[in-house]
Structure 1
Amino acid sequence: MANIQSLDPSASPLDYYGWELRRQREAQGLKQGQLGEIIFCTGSLIGQIETTKKVPTRDFSERVDVALDTDGLFSRLIGLVLRSQLPTWFQPYAEMEAKAAYISTYQAQLVYGLLQTEEYARAVLATGVTDDLENLVTARMERQRILDKTQPPLAWAILDEAVLHRPVGGPEVMRAQLAHLLRFANHRWMRIQVLPFEVGQHASLAGSFNLLRFVDNPEIVYTEDVIAGHMTANPNIILEAARRYAHLQAAALSVEASAALIARLLEERYGEQPQLA
């Protein structure tokens, strides 16, 4: 990784973060160890972040902002930094997802990324080839912050029933994941439907897809193959995706019946009795 003397702040969001952290720290007349003492970490960690050997966290960024009185600079930068840790082919989608006014997703194999618990995400991401698993997990959790915005997207997720039965990460991880899904049962902006096994053939047997709508931009369809993801704004594909999604919604269980099915699986498989409002 870069030596601090040769760090190019224009090379990447992570490089800029490290360069700016060093600049702001030195402007305050603090050594790495002194800043570390103030924000309850080691000077070594400060040095690793300044030289891009370590990816900062949101908590670290918020503490640095307070310590250096930087008016939220690092808290604003951290979103860009963590997004840059996503696979290169996925970054354009993550950027568009963060701007979407409406998200429709059908997931045939896995819980949608915005709905995953940290341990479920870790189990999913560990199946890939990566030396930066924890950074990828942190980046995925960062994506979910769009649901906490003042004006979040209206999101609609249809999950194939197979998603609920596949014990990703083992029983405890899956128990927590199903319980997490139930927390969205009365969510204002997120709706979850389950496409039950009994439907049989349906409009998206070919696989998962996402449809993003925006206030000022063309709609986008996103799909993934085994290697990478693909976005398109082709009007014909958008129309076909919308048609298929409408058929999926019609075939899926209602939001209420979907929550009841998740609750039943949680009790039957994992012995937990959730309380539905």
Structure 2
Amino acid sequence: MSVSTSRPEPAVAVVTMDFPPVNALPVQGWYDLAAAVGAAGADPAVRCVVLAAAGRGFNAGVDLKEIRRSPGHEALLGANHGCAAAFSAVYDCPVPVIAAVHGFCLGGGVGLAGNADAVVASEDAVFGLPELDRGALGAATHLARLVPQHLMRTLYFTSRTVTAHELHRHGSVWRVVPRSALRAAALELAREIAAKDGALLRLAKAAINGIDPVDVRRSYRYEQGFTFEAGLCGVGDRLREAFGQQEEQQHEEEQQEREQQQEKEQP
């Protein structure tokens, strides 16, 4: 499990999340991501950052197993602060950040993509906030940057997802490409941005953030207060436990299917 940074070409840094099996980040993972994005943006040689992921999907949010197995509220508080740090690192990065999204982009993934300056997605990418099914609240701030208000509310209250093609129609995804072409498409856009004057790019990023109609940091921290309230009153733990049991049952059923298939294939 790691966050790594590469420099595939001049002036472009690629920060990659790799937390198998589904890129659900533990508390330390969020802080590591924040540090990597911050370091890339602080490098005067970097003019654009690409935020990408390895594995099955871009990001599945917070590692709920870590929260479930941790006594008290320490892990929940850690996740709250870690997510806020990572989201702020993307938003406040001195240079433009491109989110290269494939597969699932859920919960905290929407926080990352919603705070990015541009989104390039693969055809199989889906975006959503399953928070109400997971005993948490939050990231409506960032989903509202990707879709209109009423669609955001509908997606939030139903825990449904929206496809990359639908977001492209709303104008929040720059390009939708085959999964095999995602990295190349993200780097193509990064290359175009990085060709601009570096000093002026940093001024432009600061200027655009300065005229944002919503303070995303304050708005998200306000949402997180309700997540913690859900934890204190017990509803968060109850829903996370139910979700965890469903996951375990599904894993057992998948394991049984694999074993049965292996038995059939044996001579």
Please give the TM-score of this superposition, normalised by the length of structure 2. Answer: 0.28
Structure richer in strand, relative to its length: 2
Bigger helix fraction: 2
User: Normalising to structure 1: TM-score of the pair?
Assistant: 0.28
Structure possessing the higher radius of gyration over alpha carbons: 1
Where relative contact order (Cα < 8 A, 6+ residues apart) is larger, the structure is: 2
